[in-house]
């Protein structure tokens, strides 16, 4: 048994669960901590591990928002008393529209992005610049209303705007959550509605990425690596489930600038660790 690998999987699962839905970049944090704890000498396994445990965090969304997901299935099609805009079909079509821009860029260039951008220096720069961007965007774009996604009708234009902003999250350290929430502000969504929309948007995005990595890795992983994947998956699910509700409650009352300040400070910590040779 590879106890060290399993303990590292637990650490990374906690990191993923804590950061997946916060606007601080879970992918960026995983890259940093994977390098810091010397997670694996196999870069392909390390990259796949990050994607798969992110899927564990996304499963937490399915559990936390199961009622809305189930309602979208039950009320999938329009009726005489239910217009198209109030159906599950319409909601998931908006999610699909939001997924198209990132998929159009991310899928063809996935290998290039991982090879060129998945390193601590890129992450630190993205964390710093993204933090400054968050401070500016919140001061200029955030509205005062806090309506939830249940009380918001997403239009195709809104969905496309959020989707275009999600493209920025291809750069590790930018954060999908931060990008989509700011995109939501630009589109006219409240912070809470934008955050909840980003949760649902993550379901097809992360599921697709994880599935592609698992298919690529078939037959190449040893038993201990599969066990490590399972451990990281379960831990990230449990931690993320605890984080989701707290994050929404926080956004209903307080600004996001605390996350922006954290990003900027953490960026300098990462650069400092690099200078002293920890990476």
Q: What is the pLDDT of residues 25-54, one digit of tens each?
A: 999 999 999 999 988 777 778 877 888 888
Q: Taking the model in full, what pTM does it have? A: 0.90
Task: Select the more confidently predicted residue: 277 or 178.
Answer: 178
> Per-residue confidence at 153, pLDDT binned at 50, 70, 90?
confident
Domain span at residue 51?
3-275
Q: How crowded is residue 269: how many other Cβ atoms within 10 Å of its Cβ? A: 12
Q: What whole-number distance in Å separates Cα of residue 136 and Cα of residue 113?
A: 27
pLDDT band per the 50, 70, 90 thresholds, residue 216:
low
More confident residue, 43 or 123: 123
Contact between 98 and 163 under an 8 Å Cβ cutoff? The reply is yes
Whats the size of the chain, residue-wise? 279
pLDDT of residue 144: 67
Which DSSP helix (H) or strand (E) runs through 51?
helix 43-64
Q: Are 56 and 237 in contact (CB under 8 A)?
A: yes
Percent above pLDDT 70 for the chain: 96
**Which H or E element spans position 207?**
helix 191-217
pLDDT digits (tens, 9 = 90+) for 241-250: 999 989 989 9
CB 12 within 8 A of CB 232: yes
pLDDT (0 to 100) of residue 76: 92
Work out the pLDDT band at 218, boundaries 50, 70, 90: low
Please check the confidence at residue 279 and state whether its pLDDT lies above 80.
no
**C-alpha span between 187 and 181 (Å, rounded):** 10
Percent of the chain with pLDDT over 90: 59
Q: What local confidence, expressed as pLDDT, does residue 157 receive?
A: 95
Q: Which of 213, 43, 23 is nearest to 119 (CA)?
A: 43
CB atoms within 10 A of CB 24: 23
Q: What is the pLDDT of residue 197?
A: 93
Q: How confident is the model at residue 1 (pLDDT cuts 50, 70, 90)?
A: low
Contacts of 149 (CB under 8 A, 6+ apart): 68, 192, 193, 196, 197, 200
User: Which tops the pLDDT comparison, 15 or 214?
Assistant: 15
Number of structural domains in the chain: 1
DSSP 22: T
**At 23, is the pLDDT very low, low, confident or very high (cuts 50, 70, 90)?**
very high
Span 173-210, pLDDT tens digits: 999 999 999 999 999 999 999 999 999 998 887 777 77
Highest-pLDDT range among 14-28, 46-60, 100-114: 14-28
Query: What pLDDT is recorded for position 92?
Result: 95
Arithmetic mean of pLDDT, 209-236: 80
């Amino acid at each position: 048994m590879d106890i060290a690998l399993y303990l590292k999987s637990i650490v990374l699962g906690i990191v993923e669960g804590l950061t997946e839905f916060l606007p601080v970049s879970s992918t960026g944090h995983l890259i940093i901590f994977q390098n810091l704890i010397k997670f694996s000498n196999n870069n392909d396994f390390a990259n796949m591990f990050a994607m798969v445990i992110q899927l564990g965090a996304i499963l937490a969304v399915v559990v936390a928002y199961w009622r809305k997901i189930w309602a979208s299935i039950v009320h999938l099609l329009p009726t005489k008393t239910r217009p198209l805009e109030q159906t599950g079909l319409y909601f998931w079509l908006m999610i699909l529209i939001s997924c198209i821009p990132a998929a159009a860029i991310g899928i063809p260039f996935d290998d290039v992005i991982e090879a060129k951008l998945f390193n601590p220096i890129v992450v630190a720069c993205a964390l710093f610049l993204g933090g400054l961007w968050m401070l500016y965007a919140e001061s200029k774009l955030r509205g005062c209303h806090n309506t939830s996604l249940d009380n918001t009708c997403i239009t195709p234009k809104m969905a496309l705007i959020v989707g275009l902003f999600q493209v920025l999250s291809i750069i590790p350290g930018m954060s999908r959550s931060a990008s989509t929430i700011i995109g939501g502000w630009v589109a006219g969504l409240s912070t809470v509605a934008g955050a909840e929309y980003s949760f649902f948007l993550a379901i097809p995005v992360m599921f697709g990425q994880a599935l592609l990595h698992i298919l690529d890795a078939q037959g190449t992983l040893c038993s201990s690596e599969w066990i490590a994947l399972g451990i990281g998956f379960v831990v990230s699910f449990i931690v993320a489930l605890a984080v989701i509700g707290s994050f929404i409650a926080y956004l209903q009352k307080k600004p996001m600038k605390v996350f922006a300040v954290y990003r900027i400070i953490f960026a300098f910590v990462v650069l400092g660790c690099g200078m002293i040779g920890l990476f």
